[in-house]
């Protein structure tokens, strides 16, 4: 498939797909006509990359993570010390963001539960992962 189709299926822009290629996060094959060619695995990879970037992980670290995932999939797990340090630092940041988001979620949930709009929590329970309105 061409770049426009992979972008559409992955839910990103073609410009972003090109950027991922420039950052060596994605490699397309080239047809005899010079056009980039992709397959379904590339769609999944673009979605995975986009998800990692949207979660706040820098593309430099995304590249390392993808290489580690590829190594693990090929049963050749290895991780240089510098990469382990980067990952550990990133993990601390992720844990801090999760804790902050959890506190914000709990504050919002508690606030809504105490107002005349408590029913809104029940109405949106399916959007909240079917959690109980007041935990």
Out of 3.90.600.10, 2.40.30.110, 3.20.20.140, 1.10.1660.10, the CATH code matching 1-78 is: 1.10.1660.10
* pLDDT tens digits along 3-25: 999 999 999 999 999 999 999 99
- Residue ranges of E strands in the chain: 29-30, 36-37
> At 128, is the pLDDT very low, low, confident or very high (cuts 50, 70, 90)?
low
For the cut 70, the answer to whether the pLDDT of residue 133 exceeds it is: no
Nearest-angstrom CA–CA distance, 68 and 83: 10
pLDDT tens sequence across 56-77:
888 888 998 898 888 777 776 6
Task: Tell me the pTM.
Answer: 0.62
Across 101-128, average pLDDT: 82
- Relative to beta strand 29-30, strand 36-37 is antiparallel
């Amino acid at each position: 498939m061409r770049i426009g189709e992979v972008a559409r299926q992955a839910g990103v822009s073609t410009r972003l797909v090109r950027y991922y290629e420039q950052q060596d996060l994605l490699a397309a094959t080239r047809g005899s006509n010079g056009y980039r060619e992709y397959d379904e695995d590339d769609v999944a990879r673009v979605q995975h990359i986009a998800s990692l970037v949207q979660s706040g992980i820098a593309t430099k670290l995304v590249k390392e993570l993808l290489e580690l995932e590829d190594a693990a999939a090929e049963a050749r797990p290895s991780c240089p010390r510098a990469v382990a340090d980067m990952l550990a630092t990133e993990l601390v940041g992720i844990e801090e963001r999760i804790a902050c988001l959890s506190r914000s979620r709990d504050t919002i949930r508690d606030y809504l539960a105490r107002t005349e709009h408590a029913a809104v929590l029940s109405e949106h329970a399916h959007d909240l992962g079917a959690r109980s309105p007041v935990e």
